[in-house]
C-alpha cells in the first residue's frame, strides 16, 4: 500500500505528558509504538506513516499555539461512529480537552463526522470517521 505522508514530528514542551496523551490516543486508533530515544518517541500506523514527539534541546520557549502560523491541527481517522463516541467518552481521563463539543459530531459540517480534541500542550487533533 502506498502512502502519501511519510511522517510528522511534533516538538513538545513536556515529553512525558505528551507521550501519555498521544500514546493513549494513537493506540486507540490502531497505531503501535515505533521508536524511542532520549528526547523522543514515535508511533507507527499500519500503513507505515509514523508520528514522532520530541522534546528537542533546540526548542524555543513559548509553547505551541495552533492560532499562530504553523501547524493548526492533525486529522486522523477512526473506523466508525461507535469508535468515535468511545474516544470522546474517555478522552478527558487521558488529558484531552474536547473542542466544539456543543456541535459534536458535526462541528466540521453536516456531512462530516468528527471529534476535535486538544492536548495539554495546545495541539489539536481532529478524528474523522472513515478514510474519505
Task: Provide long-range contacts, Cβ within 8 A and 24+ apart, for 64-73.
Answer: 64/10, 64/11, 64/12, 64/13, 64/121, 64/122, 64/123, 65/122, 66/118, 66/122, 66/123, 66/124, 71/10, 71/123, 72/124, 73/116, 73/123, 73/124, 73/125, 73/126
Phi and psi at residue 97, to the nearest 5°: -115, 130
pTM: 0.92
pLDDT at 112: 94
Q: Which domains does the chain have, with CATH numbers?
A: 7-129 (3.10.180.10)
H-run or E-run covering 10: strand 7-11
| Partner residues linked to 129 by β-bridges | 78
**pLDDT tens per residue across span 1-37:** 578 899 999 999 999 999 999 999 999 999 999 999 9
The rounded radius of gyration (Å) of the Cα atoms in the chain is 15
pLDDT in tens, 28-82: 999 999 999 999 999 999 999 999 999 998 888 888 888 888 889 999 999 999 9
- Specify the 3-state DSSP secondary structure of 127: strand
Residue 132 scores a pLDDT above 60: no
Which grid coordinates belong to 24? 493513549
pLDDT of residue 16: 97
C-alpha cell at 81: 461512529
End-to-end alpha carbon distance in the chain: 16
Amino acid at each position: 500500500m502506498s502512502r502519501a505522508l511519510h511522517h510528522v514530528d511534533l516538538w513538545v514542551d513536556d515529553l512525558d505528558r505528551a507521550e501519555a496523551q498521544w500514546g493513549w490516543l494513537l493506540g486507540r486508533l490502531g497505531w503501535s509504538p515505533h521508536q524511542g530515544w532520549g528526547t523522543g518517541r514515535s508511533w507507527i500506523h499500519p500503513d507505515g506513516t509514523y508520528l514522532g514527539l520530541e522534546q528537542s534541546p533546540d526548542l524555543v520557549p513559548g509553547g505551541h499555539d495552533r492560532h499562530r502560523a504553523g501547524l493548526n491541527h492533525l486529522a486522523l481517522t477512526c473506523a466508525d461512529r461507535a469508535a468515535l463516541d468511545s474516544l470522546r467518552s474517555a478522552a478527558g481521563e487521558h488529558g484531552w480537552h474536547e473542542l466544539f463539543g456543543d456541535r459534536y459530531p458535526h462541528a466540521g459540517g453536516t456531512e462530516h463526522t468528527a471529534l476535535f480534541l486538544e492536548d495539554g500542550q495546545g495541539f489539536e487533533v481532529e478524528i474523522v470517521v472513515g478514510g474519505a
